[in-house]
């Protein structure tokens, strides 16, 4: 639908340049099409702005989730190390590897497990991971 300003612009052109009926119809069609295209461009620009905003929000959410995952992985890492160390201890026992079996500090591991269960060390394990120092 042509706007009021479009109709005024077309009427000024009709007064300034005398045209025949065919030319008037053709020019009016072009003016209406130009107005329609301007309106569509405006709507598309609004859609683009809203999609860009949604994309920025998703990027922020992604970064927040990525940091949360990194934090969770950092908290789980000592627990996984404890399990790995214990599995190495069990493997050393199975292979009758006295040196590695004796290197394992069971008391330190138990203390780490108790600290983890009691929420000590902010729920993390002891820093030595259940290993005896040489």
Domain coordinates in residue numbering, the chain: 11-119
Section 12-30 average pLDDT? 76
pTM: 0.49
Section 125-129 average pLDDT? 50
Q: Which residue has the higher pLDDT, 55 or 5?
A: 55
Section 43-62 average pLDDT? 98
Is there a contact between 24 and 14 (Cβ–Cβ < 8 Å)?
yes
Section 69-95 average pLDDT? 84
Section 27-32 average pLDDT? 87
Most confident of 26-35, 56-65, 68-77, 97-106: 56-65
Query: How far from each other are the two terminal CA atoms of the chain, in whole angstroms?
Result: 87
The pLDDT score that the predictor gives to residue 38 is: 94
Q: How many CB atoms neighbour CB 112 within 10 A? A: 25
Q: Over the range 85-99, which residues count as b (16 or more CB within 10 Å of their CB) and which as e?
A: bbebbeebeeeeeee
Question: Which of 49-53, 60-64, 68-72, 128-132 is predicted least confidently?
Answer: 128-132
The pLDDT score that the predictor gives to residue 1 is: 58
């Amino acid at each position: 639908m042509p706007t009021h300003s479009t109709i005024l612009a077309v009427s000024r052109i009709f007064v300034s340049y005398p045209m025949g009926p065919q030319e008037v119809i053709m020019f009016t069609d072009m003016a209406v099409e130009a107005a329609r295209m301007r309106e569509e461009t405006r709507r598309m620009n609004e859609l683009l702005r809203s999609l860009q905003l949604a994309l920025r929000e998703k990027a922020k959410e992604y970064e927040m989730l990525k940091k949360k995952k990194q934090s969770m992985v950092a908290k789980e890492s000592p627990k996984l190390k404890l399990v790995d160390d214990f599995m190495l201890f069990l493997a050393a026992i199975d292979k009758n590897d006295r040196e590695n079996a004796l290197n394992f500090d069971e008391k330190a591991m138990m203390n780490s497990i108790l600290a983890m269960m009691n929420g000590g060390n902010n729920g993390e394990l002891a820093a030595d991971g259940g290993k005896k120092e040489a």
